[in-house]
Structure 1
């Protein structure tokens, strides 16, 4: 039996006539700029087709993996050696238990928006959906590029390490793909001087760049060389995933000595590692300014909490959580140092701990100096916060303590080619916030002006901010 789910259709998440008008007449038709994600560029360059829905939808998705583990499903059906169909069946079994988690909405939006499947996924219809969607994914109209085009994505930015050759981006730049595909420079491994494999990473970076990295100055020169290479290949953004910003005092001599000590295979104290990170972050941020890039900082994740599963599966497999780091003082010192040197480029800050919402909402106002609209941005609800409550909290706090009209909107931060309905999810929530205020008399019933603001947040602000 087919169970219709009208909760996803038409006026889903829109609680007033005003919200309906804002969404359907203004937000829905805007293109998408997805300026931060982790899509594999090779799949886009090859324009591959996924063999089945598990490969497109479950592999690599640690949101789904965590839900399945919570339900007591064995790891072999998640990241193990079970067949793709068995893994899908276990996910289908899990879905009815995800009610009130955003996965329940996202799952059914993705089935509906890409494949026109409006029945509710469960173990009862798992076999039918697996077969029909997998067959669809094998057709030319559902190749990776066409999955992107179906969602009206005009620009997307993947995320690459400085060692990346960017060969797939170069192929895409020469292709006839209508969506602009760029990248973001992600040099986190160069900052992790206390990691076990740090010297091995520097050796790889040295091989790629053709520079022997035996001194701190050589490291800086190499990273600048890689930034220039990324820039020549169309990159205009960087990204850092950090627990918090580092802003320790240091001298050049100290930093050079710390780097030499580590390069010789010696262990560092936490204080030494933090001085190094502080120095290298400032160098990178000043270089981003020189190249005219936008810098992004994703702050607050406590990663790899389960050491047993980290040893078994590696990082980025679903064992991270929200951290409770102190953010304000070091973030302020870092931004203030750059501002004082006239080296503060456009900056986007994301927090993972909702306790820090007001901190970031007010911090951006300290460094918006009138030179650029929304120069320093507080980014959209991220990771554990890219759900209804998290997005509403972020937008309400930004409205109260800043200007939501300058906000550059949503991004997927996803590894999945099927995640782009999250932009629709965000837009519906945004329109509902404005619609409720209009209905309650807290905003004027000026649909043309408020509709323009909504379109700005959905698309135009990002287009102008990144100069896409």
Structure 2
């Protein structure tokens, strides 16, 4: 059988993710037809800006689909496949598999592991819609699919900028540390290409005392800004200066990946004392949590002044697998959700800024139990708060439905911000947005058929969830 399979068959069914109920499916089809081709607005993610600056061909299928995507390699690792076998680079430069075809075969031989997962939807979508593969990936067709994808990657129309345009991406935001010089963003800006690639300010390496090389990071921050970062006033001035630079380079948002949503409102003397202990290496875990809590409040103050939208992504126990952290570093699929408090944790920040008309804070969670109990009531009251979409482990059909059902009755649709893909895997972006559009249409169709919403209202909401809300929320 050829890789293309049966010419009359599609790898992806046109009604995927819609209800099996005929009435709901009919409404969902009509709604989806109106929004499926709207531009993609990707306001938060982790794609590499060098792709768009250099516009070089993606090297091979393995480096495109496997080695950069922790959703993919964490599943394979969970079944005993070493990351070295998948070509994932070691911190010490030790040997890893260098034959991309062997890496690809490992994915194909184990493709059944992804049954029922969102990764399967994303992979099938990319293979089918981007590369024309119409046969399910397997050990039997691994080499044929590899060759078909590679043949495409060798063509100019599969380079990053061409795919950006093909995917109808209106704007994409990457995420960088304040220590990043944003050289790739400058090259994109100064090129003759009109694609909009912006950055987002992620200060974790210089606001988290438990981040590796924190003291050295503050020394580098001082060198970049000319501020004395060992003093509280100079430290804040340095962070503010870098925020200004990021805004000049197109940033409209900040992003904060703290272990919790804790906030604090301390006096300057207490802040200086915390900073002194952090720089001396004598800070305790409790002090580090208080330092991060204070910094969320400081970042909110700065956002009120400079207009950058503030995103808070709390509740992940980062690098839970210590062996992987030592061998491969961060972002190796070993981050695990934790219980997260918002009502008490955010009160210091909200007491100070919660009613300010010029501040926008977008809250995310990996603790689904907090949706209806805490997040929806908070966003349904405080003017500064909006709810980010189902995130990370819950960026999935079931996760998206649970999100809508948990928050809509209390927060409504208009205290949410549409969808963002938050991905490193470039080819999964149109797939993820398509899943979100389909799930929103399926949910809205249910409301229409239950006579809780008229179809003309559902269509207006579908357009807003797909396009309007995200542009408004991220000031794009």
TM bin, normalised by shorter chain, reads over 0.9
2:278, 2:288 within 8 Å by CA — same for their partners in 1? no
Of stretches 329-338 and 36-45 in structure 1, the one that deviates more from structure 2 is 329-338
> CA offset at residue 76 of structure 1?
2.4
Residue in 2 that maps onto 1:432: 442
Q: Does structure 1 residue 58 correspond to structure 2 residue 66? A: yes
* Distance change >3 Å, CA 267–CA 426, structure 1 → 2: same
Q: Does structure 1 residue 232 correspond to structure 2 residue 248? A: yes
> CA offset at residue 22 of structure 1?
0.4
Q: Deviations over 1:118-138 (max 9, x none)?
A: 210111111011111012112
Structure 1 unmatched runs, 5+: 369-374
Q: Deviations over 1:156-181 (max 9, x none)?
A: 11101001111211221222333311
State the alpha-carbon separation in 1 of the partners of residues 98 and 183 from structure 2.
Answer: 33
Residue in 1 that maps onto 2:238: 222
Q: Does structure 1 residue 192 correspond to structure 2 residue 208? A: yes
Q: Does structure 1 residue 348 correspond to structure 2 residue 362? A: yes
Residue in 2 that maps onto 1:22: 31
Q: Deviations over 1:315-338 (max 9, x none)?
A: 111111111233321123322322
Residue in 1 that maps onto 2:193: 177
Q: Does structure 1 residue 201 correspond to structure 2 residue 217? A: yes
2:261, 2:315 within 8 Å by CA — same for their partners in 1? no
Residue in 2 that maps onto 1:115: 131
Of stretches 37-46 and 207-216 in structure 1, the one that deviates more from structure 2 is 207-216
Counterpart mapping for 1:387-402 below 5 A: 387-402=396-411
> CA offset at residue 7 of structure 1?
6.4
State the alpha-carbon separation in 1 of the partners of residues 241 and 376 from structure 2.
Answer: 34
Post-superposition, which runs of at least 4 consecutive aligned residues in structure 1 deviate over 3 A? Answer: 2-7
Q: Deviations over 1:138-168 (max 9, x none)?
A: 2110001112211111011110100111121
State the alpha-carbon separation in 1 of the partners of residues 127 and 173 from structure 2.
Answer: 24
Q: Deviations over 1:257-282 (max 9, x none)?
A: 2212332x241123332332233222
1:37, 1:412 within 8 Å by CA — same for their partners in 2? yes
State the alpha-carbon separation in 2 of the partners of residues 276 and 406 from structure 1.
Answer: 29
Structure 2 unmatched runs, 5+: 20-24, 89-95
Residue in 1 that maps onto 2:413: 404
Residue in 1 that maps onto 2:394: 385
SS of the residue aligned with 2:345?
helix
Counterpart mapping for 1:10-409 below 5 A: 10-15=14-19, 16-24=25-33, 26-78=34-86, 79=88, 80-248=96-264, 250-263=266-279, 265-339=280-354, 342=356, 345-358=359-372, 359-368=374-383, 375-409=384-418
1:194, 1:267 within 8 Å by CA — same for their partners in 2? no
Q: Deviations over 1:164-221 (max 9, x none)?
A: 1112112212223333111110001122113452111111212222333221211101
Residue in 2 that maps onto 1:459: 467
SS of the residue aligned with 2:173?
strand
Of stretches 120-129 and 395-404 in structure 1, the one that deviates more from structure 2 is 395-404
> CA offset at residue 464 of structure 1?
2.8
> CA offset at residue 350 of structure 1?
0.5
* Distance change >3 Å, CA 134–CA 417, structure 1 → 2: same
State the alpha-carbon separation in 2 of the partners of residues 122 and 210 from structure 1.
Answer: 56
SS of the residue aligned with 1:177?
coil
Alpha-carbon RMSD across the aligned residues, in angstroms, is 1.8
1:247, 1:330 within 8 Å by CA — same for their partners in 2? yes
Q: Deviations over 1:307-366 (max 9, x none)?
A: 1221111111111111123332112332232226x4861111110121121221111122
1:255, 1:275 within 8 Å by CA — same for their partners in 2? no
* Distance change >3 Å, CA 196–CA 114, structure 1 → 2: closer
